[in-house]
Chains A and B, each alone.
Chain A
Amino acid sequence: MSNVAVMGNTGTATDTASTARAPFAPWDRRDIPGSFSVEATARRVGNYKWTEMKLFEALGGWIATVPELDVKMRLGTHCYHHAWHADLWHKRLPELREMKPERLTVPANEAMERFIEAMTEPEAPELTIEKLVGVYRVLIPRFIAAYTYHRNNTSEITDAPTIRSINFILQDEFDDWRDGEMLLQSLITTRDHVRRAAEHQARLEAIMVEAGGITGADSIGTGDNTNTEGGA
Chain B
Amino acid sequence: MSEPSTSTATAAVSTAKVTVSPEEFTFVEYDATEIATIVAELAAQLEIANPIRVIVDETTPLAKVYEEIDAASSDATITLHAESGALEDRKHPQSFSPKAARESLGRILLRAHDRMRPEFADAPPDLELTLEQNAAWDTYCAGRLARMGVEVNQQRWRYNHRNRFGFDDGVDAKFDLIWSSDDLRWSDIAAGGG
A/B touching: CB–CB < 8 A: no
